[in-house]
A and B are shown apart, each in its own frame.
Chain A
């Protein structure tokens, strides 16, 4: 049994312009000790998926169907009270914005301690001792002093370390990290990634790593799910995906990726792929990537492609996938066309 198994997850939002299908039939699974990366352009439903797992979609305007099984329990069927026992304890989360994700009016110690008191029922002393231990673990210098400080007294990198300390305080079995390093500068990014990989490796925690940065994927993950407009369009082990991306969208993402080591600048949001993500309110019949796709054919305009095996442990939803590397001689890459 996998640690996390999502099947046919569908998340819909009621919006002014109609029902928006933010996540549309997503399936994936994560094993204990495994890091699964979810990549895709902004707006493709990555964060919504994360919030659905935690049961924190906005009430009233959203609806989630399908199943999200965590250690065999369907999280979507649980009440909020039951979810409260899981959140922060068995499943915890690190968010993208370390500058705003910590409460500005509570001390760091208080915010880490809150999780511990809530889930571990520790007393004041024990809570403080454990919070201190966590700060040490995430490599924060002078942890005694930091405990009494407020978030605004810490740098962005330090705050993200605090977030990680908070998320790992109760030894979760699954960690969801939603673009954990996007807001940080490059050197700090590398440190934070190292830290997370190290801590997760030690405890055998499973991880869903959401990112749009393939550098991060290469660094951290074993498996990748590529999302486009609320759907999974490709899934493969990291190495295979890098070696031979099969979906034209994945190919485009990889091609538009800035070289992490050359610039020194953090990679921007990916905007280099021509065209825009389709409106999620329109019904899906044809392939949603077709208008932007260099490999589009008539078939793509009539029917959405099935998600199918296209190689060893490699799945893709495309009528005309990119060729396998050994076939590449016969059909050269059409990168020039795509950029046009």
Chain B
């Protein structure tokens, strides 16, 4: 077990390297010259060349990649072209809202989606099932910003229950922090809930046909413990898998959500960096998001053995 975990963790290293190469190349080959952007509109060709040389942009791909990787390993993500600040500094400033938003949404989505999916599976073929599935289709097809604006308009502007926009740091108290994240989490969570609920439903429907469910009922177990102890436990692997895969949607969703609700997080930083063609920042952010995705899926892989004793590596 421990050996497997270590092996699995080591196996993520090549994945991360490939991700790093990909992220680096993406912007290396992207159109637009960072040197020209820095130099501004009035710059001459010589000015641009000079800047390019001073930034080391004229050196070969491998040399630049090697240097970039080495710096990252030493905790240096580079310097923002636009602000001139170290990128680690920029990210440290912005990470709290994003982390809060994703973690809260993740927890909230799982807590809503899994029982919803189990309920739909249990009541498969009835109106309850249809209602849940219609909700899932809607949640999947309505864009985050639409949900976000509708919620903000209703809950904040009309009813005045929740703040319209903005982020309160967790340092200001748990309740203000939580309040500031309710609407963003719901907006961001819709797609995720839809995805998890659907997978939960279809997996649990399959599980409920199994003989051991009948055995559990024959023992005198009530519906709910049968569903949640015997049913859900057996459905856990596909559900956890989709939670891991769907995490990518969550990450891309934060970019939109942070804009709609004016949360000063990494998503906003990403948009600003793209608008300013702040290449080193974009690189660093894409890299961080990718690593987060890889790590979440590592956690998912490790969770398998927890849920299913038959899985042994």
Contacts and interface: CB of A to CB of B under 8 A. Distances in A.
Nearest to B219: A88
Interface in A140-160: 150, 152
Interface string B191-223: 000000000000000000011101111111111
A119 B310 contact: no
Contact of B216 (A80, A85, A92, A103): A103
Contact of B218 (A80, A88, A119, A150): A88
B234 interface: yes
A256 interface: no
Interface string A52-95: 00101000100000000000000000001100111111001101
B308 A105 contact: yes
Contact of B233 (A95, A101, A106, A166): A106
B215 A101 contact: yes
B309 interface: yes
Contacts of A85: 220
Contacts of A205: none
Contacts of A5: none
- Which size class do B's interface residues fall under? 20 to 34
B219 A56 contact: no
A241 interface: no
A100 B212 contact: yes
A256 B55 CA distance: 91
B307 interface: yes
Contacts of A104: 212, 234, 308-310
B8 interface: no
B219 A115 contact: yes
A31 interface: no
Interface in B107-148: 125-126
B218 A87 contact: yes
Nearest to A114: B219
B310 to A, nearest CB: 5
Nearest to B212: A103
Interface residues of A, number: 30
A182 B218 CA distance: 20
Interface string A102-114: 1111100000001
A106 B222 CA distance: 17
A118 interface: yes
A100 B234 CA distance: 13
B52 interface: no
A100 B210 contact: yes
A88 B220 contact: yes
A4 to B, nearest CB: 16
A102 B212 contact: yes
Given A95-B215, A150-B309, A103 B220 contact: no
Contact of B217 (A87, A89, A105, A163): A87
A276 to B, nearest CB: 26
Interface string B300-313: 00000001111000
Please provide the 9 A-B residue pairs with the shortest distance between their CB atoms, ordered closest to farther. Answer: A88-B220, A88-B219, A87-B220, A100-B211, A103-B212, A101-B211, A150-B309, A93-B218, A84-B220
Given A56-B214, A60-B126, A89-B220, 6 more contacts: A54-B217, A84-B221, A101-B211, A101-B212, A105-B307, A119-B220
25 contacts: A54-B217, A54-B218, A56-B217, A60-B125, A84-B220, A84-B221, A84-B222, A86-B220, A87-B217, A87-B219, A87-B220, A92-B219, A95-B211, A97-B211, A102-B212, A103-B212, A103-B216, A103-B230, A103-B233, A105-B236, A105-B310, A106-B230, A150-B310, A163-B215, A166-B219
Interface of B: 125-126, 210-212, 214-223, 229-230, 233-234, 236, 307-310
